[in-house]
Structure 1
């Protein structure tokens, strides 16, 4: 930083010794050391902040490049579901209504049904509603007898009534 040789440093030390005096020289050197430490810390903090700002600028630049590449990639991509829906509409000759794009009209022989869910299936008056079959719980072979089940019995599918598990 400063181009000082040893002879110049010795000259500065001798002048400081004469000007300040031998009693006060250690206190002055100590204060000078504290000030130099503060200056170095401040310079280090400034360098750290500068490096952090450079990293943030690089990250922002990388993010911008990524966003541009992502926009280019998605610009060429078409949604296959939308294109299939348009092809089906074109094939049947129906167009979605311009006033409400979320509603669709389903024609039935009896009447026209309008729903807000494009994937909904409306029940027809002629379609019966199926009921689930009743659940059947098998009766044990021996009513009232305790069942003794062991892992070996389960593996061989042999469950024997009684307390011992043997027949």
Structure 2
């Protein structure tokens, strides 16, 4: 911001020490720091307000554009719409009529006879398959022998 180097700061510090004195110098520097803080806060607040105003201006433009889209069509689209309407509403140019020549009347073509409706083709169905023989009965489980069966009170 300011083009002040360390050598200039040393000169200002030495002058302040002589003019203000060593006893009041810390209080003076503290007060200068408070003023700098206040100035910085004011600058930041001002910058924030400017940025907010810019955002609101951009939002206003967007709102107008959205309103145009909602109410109908935007300006470029309206221009194209009017051009398209002009093209559609104008009648097309017809070719000039062909010159008439004297010719013998042509013979009428014979009327066409309606075509006979064909009978639907028969659909072949597969022949029924012979029934399969009945399934074989499953083997019956053999009963357990008495020797292998456990007795209710026996220990194993």
TM (normalized to structure 2)?
0.46
TM (normalized to structure 1)?
0.43
Over alpha carbons, which structure has the higher Rg? 2
Q: Which has the higher contact order (CA 8 A, sep 6+)?
A: 1
